[in-house]
Structure 1
Amino acid sequence: MIIDFLYFQLLIVILLIMLFASMFRILREYERGVVFLLGRFHKVKGPGFIILIPFVQQMVRVDLRIVTMDVPSQDLISKDNVTVRVNAVLYFRVLDPQKAIINVENYLEATSQLAQTTMRSVLGQHELDEILSARDTLNADLQRILDQSTDGWGIKVSAVEIKHVDLDESMIRAIARQAEAERSRRAKVIHATGELEASKQLLEAAHVLAQQPEAIQLRYLQTLTEISSDNSKILVFPVPMELGKILQKMSTETQPDNADGPTQMT
């Protein structure tokens, strides 16, 4: 009988220890406790040492650190009817533990699903070139939309980054051909621009050389030095510019004699 009484007392002591142990909680600096009193929201406690009334108060821990969530690859159709697969990474944190626990069942799962659907809807409104080149703008749009949608859940979305865009092999080849054509177009434009600038410079040089005829002769001699080289087999003999004038004068003097016709022999 005495042994049974001792066992009963020991059992009571163990139950009291377990009861008192369940009253005490220690929350880290980045944790908060959402306390419910008989099923109703009571208050948010923490960090540090807190005391709960057993069977009357219950607590749910909430982590306030930034969560890095990988958004799975999503199949979407761009505005120009191109099928692509896009994945991203999402950064968010809980600002209001009360809303995060009461207003949504599982804020982690809800945020992940919302990010997937938002990414499909937003990127589907843009063309493929914008998805590939304007990522900063698209990231800002996704962050703004997600932040507004999760505001009622007590969540702050700090950043959304598109990581990778997968394309079909045929589309990759088409983009390569497009880039090659663009480079060819730029080369032609640059060449035409150079020709235009060169023609303007040549016209200006011609006006300058026309003011002094001797300058043309000097330029002619300089051109001969550029053509001639040590290994060249071509001999270049400079012809004076005055020779052309003499030949022209002689031809004009002989024209009247030729106009009378051939000379008759007697």
Structure 2
Amino acid sequence: MHQLPLLLLPSSPSSPPLSSSSSSSPSSLLPPPPPPPLSSPPPSLSPPLSPPLISPSLSLLQEPLEQSQLPQLQSQSSSLLLSSSLLSSAESRSQMHSQSQSQSQSRPRSRSRSSAKRLKVKKQYHTKDAENRLMQDVIEKIPIRARSQSWLIRTRRLLDTKEKAPFISTCFYILSVMLIVITFPFCLPFCFKIIREYERAVILRLGRLVSGTKGPGLFFVMPCIDKCHIVDLRVLSFDIPPQEILSRDSVTVSVEAVIYIRINNPVISVTNVNDPQFSTKLLAQTTLRNVLGTRTLSEMLSERDSIANVIGKVLAEGTEPWGVHVQRVEIKDIRLPYQLMRSMAAEARATRDARSLIILADGERQASWSLAEAASTIDSSSVSLQLRYLQTLTNVASEHNSTIVIPIPMEIVEYFAKKWNKLTADDS
């Protein structure tokens, strides 16, 4: 507590009287002098006033007073008297109470302050429960690269519906309530909405977001000022049109794909994008062209699953600020040009023919080795040649042919040849 300067008014014989009608002097209107200072003042009190603080007041009081200044002087004297009494009571209390008693008194004060603070926080939590839950739901689902300052400011402006509400909005709200009261029996079909289990409703009141999602079930809306956006939470599928893509090995292919998406945050899907399904479709087309442009034709044909996973991850990062979750991406078809298909078919046919010729050559080589071994075995024994001759006759007879060709042994031919040569030599 700061000490206030006290006015000490000594009686001066040279000071003139205030007026002829007043019988009392100015010194009688001033407060009595303060009590004498204590012998040992507490350390918490400030030091006594210095003479320069009192001298201006004394100099003012030594001047002659006018009749108009008397009420002001009386009010100042009463305030100074009150301050001096408060100062003396504070000094007496500081001497009577010890440090332990002051600590014991501070404990219940701190407890009362903490309880009041808890009640205040609890009240604020109950009043802004819907806004806090919605804000937490939105911020937690924002990707790291989408948490820019402008995006967060725009999202907070959309969610803080009670902050800086314009006066015209309140007027329209009152008019809407009056309209409901006037047309009560007939306005009920327009005041209630039914949302199915797989749907959620986002309400905009005069263009501002009211709260979180509504539904499923029956809920109340204000006619003429509330606009209800119904969002379907089921899995949606759509085809990507055929995309002409130039692969890394300079081959033009036409690729079709199928995408399965689901809206996981209706508020963001309504406030951040106009048409989530159409925007996701356009993003999928560009992503498909960018990803497949870095692959060769053989990789496209053999690694469809890995390419689909890469496309799904890229789409998930791009559609997360829109409240859309990409569940699955499938490559439906990869079509080649007609000339390329013919050339690839001819290449495959030539490869198959070459492989078949190689197989035939290997078979003939192995057969020749077997025939050479058989010929050497038959040549080494005449009995084996006769057995081969008899097997040949048996095979010919089994075919029921009318003509049977019997091979003549070479020994007989050689014998008749020698006889013929001998006869011709004798005749000559």
User: Could you say whether these structures have the same fold, taking a TM-score greater than 0.5 normalized by the shorter chain as the test?
Assistant: yes
Cα distance change of structure 1 residues 188 and 152 upon mapping to structure 2, 3 Å threshold: farther
Cα distance change of structure 1 residues 13 and 155 upon mapping to structure 2, 3 Å threshold: closer
Is contact 1:91-1:159 (8 Å) kept? yes
Alignment partner of 1:120 out of 279, 289, 292: 289
1:186 aligns to 2:359 (yes or no):
no
Q: Which runs of 5+ in 1 are unaligned?
A: 1-10, 248-266
Structure 1 residue 101: deviation in Å? 2.3
Cα distance change of structure 1 residues 220 and 143 upon mapping to structure 2, 3 Å threshold: farther
Q: Give per-residue Cα distances to partners, 1:226-245, cap 9 Å, x unaligned.
A: 466433856234759xx7xx
Distance in 1 between residues matched to 2:357 and 2:366, nearest whole Å: 14
Q: Which runs of 5+ in 2 are unaligned?
A: 1-178, 415-428
Is contact 2:180-2:187 (8 Å) kept? no
Partner of 2:406: 236
Is contact 1:221-1:238 (8 Å) kept? no
1:26 aligns to 2:194 (yes or no):
yes
Aligned pairs (5 A) from 1:11-160: 15-17=183-185, 19-36=187-204, 39-40=208-209, 42-54=211-223, 58-132=227-301, 134-160=303-329
Structure 1 residue 63: deviation in Å? 0.7
Structure 1 residue 32: deviation in Å? 1.0
Greater percentage in strand: 1
Structure 1 residue 112: deviation in Å? 0.6
State the identity as a percent: 39
Q: Give per-residue Cα distances to partners, 1:230-263, cap 9 Å, x unaligned.
A: 33856234759xx7xxx9xxxxxxxxxxxxxxxx
Is contact 1:74-1:116 (8 Å) kept? yes
Aligned residues: 231
Is contact 1:27-1:47 (8 Å) kept? yes
Is contact 1:25-1:50 (8 Å) kept? yes
Distance in 2 between residues matched to 1:219 and 1:48, nearest whole Å: 97
2:259 partner SS: strand
Is contact 2:265-2:324 (8 Å) kept? yes
* One-letter amino acid of the structure 2 residue matched with residue 66 of structure 1: V
Is contact 1:36-1:43 (8 Å) kept? no
- Computing the radius of gyration from Cα coordinates, the structure with the larger value is 2
Aligned pairs (5 A) from 1:210-229: 218=387, 221-223=390-392, 225-226=394-395, 229=399
Distance in 2 between residues matched to 1:138 and 1:93, nearest whole Å: 21
* One-letter amino acid of the structure 2 residue matched with residue 32 of structure 1: R
Structure 1 residue 148: deviation in Å? 4.0
Q: Give per-residue Cα distances to partners, 1:197-228, cap 9 Å, x unaligned.
A: 6567x38985xx79x96677645643554466
Is contact 2:396-2:404 (8 Å) kept? no
* One-letter amino acid of the structure 1 residue matched with residue 192 of structure 2: F
Cα distance change of structure 1 residues 183 and 49 upon mapping to structure 2, 3 Å threshold: same
Structure 1 residue 120: deviation in Å? 1.1
Structure 1 residue 121: deviation in Å? 1.4
Partner of 2:68: none
Aligned pairs (5 A) from 1:237-252: 237=407
1:74 partner SS: strand
Is contact 1:31-1:64 (8 Å) kept? yes
1:42 partner SS: coil
Partner of 1:4: none
TM-score (norm 2): 0.44
